[in-house]
Every structure is written in C-alpha cells, then in structure tokens.
Amino acid sequence: MGYTIEQIETIAAKLRELPPIEKKKREVNKQSAIVLLAKEITALQKRGYTLDQIAETLRGEGLEITTPILKNALQRAKPKKKTDTPPPPARPKEIGGPASGATLPPKSGSFIPRPDRDKL
C-alpha cells in the first residue's frame, strides 16, 4: 500500500507538534543506565564491594543485570584513553626548496608519473 504526499505531510506535522519528553522520564537501556551509574559503582568497588554484590543490589532495585553484563558495560563506559603513539610527522613536499625541484620518494602504494620512454 502506498501513501500520498498529503498523508506524509499530515503525519510530519503531527510529529512536530509532539511535546518533548522530560529528560528524567526518558527511558534508557542497560548500557546507558550503567554509564549514568558508573561513578557510584566505581565508588562501591573502592569501598570493597564486588561486581557480584553490586549486580545483586542493582537487581534488587529493578535493574535486571547479570555480573558479566555489568562488567562489560562498565568497561565500555570508561572514557577512551589516548594512545601513547604519536601520529607520524608530516612529510615535507620538497627537499632543498622549490628551486631544486627535488622531491621525497612517494609513500608506499603510490607512484610518481614520469614521461614515457622512447624504448620499451
């Protein structure tokens, strides 16, 4: 079944009229819930609680989560660390200045166009 442009425009207008959902009433998935609770969970771990105990407490509060899922979600919630390897330095385009005409060899996988030779 197809839809007319008029039907789609009516639907779009109704969607635009919907009020925003209050932030505190917005539903989140387990991963997002763990991200929001990560500081508290980390604080509990520092106080000596195990992930099993924390997962059990969370289940008691209505957040159905297993210990392995909690562990994985916490690892994913951690901020990304920057790698210790710096990016490669920028390569200069020419050696000896523009007047010399000398250039660096090409990067691996590239080529330099050259004029055709007379003999093949």
Instruction: Report if residue 120 sits inside a domain.
Output: no
Residue 92 falls within a domain, yes or no?
no
**What is the pLDDT at residue 113?**
76
Domain range for 68: 24-77
Do residues 92 and 104 make contact, with C-beta atoms less than 8 angstroms apart? yes
Per-residue tokens: 74: 């916490």
What does the pLDDT profile of the chain (120 residues) look like in tens digits?
799 999 999 999 999 999 888 888 888 899 899 999 999 999 999 999 999 999 999 999 999 999 999 999 999 888 766 666 666 666 655 555 555 555 566 566 677 777 877 776
**Buried b / exposed e across 13-52, counting CB within 10 Å, b at 16+?**
eeeeeeeeeeeeeeeeebeebbbebbeebeebeeeeeebe
How many separate domains does the chain show?
1
Does residue 88 sit within a domain?
no
Residue 2 in domain: no
Residue 114 pLDDT: 77
Instruction: Answer yes or no: is 102 within a domain.
Output: no
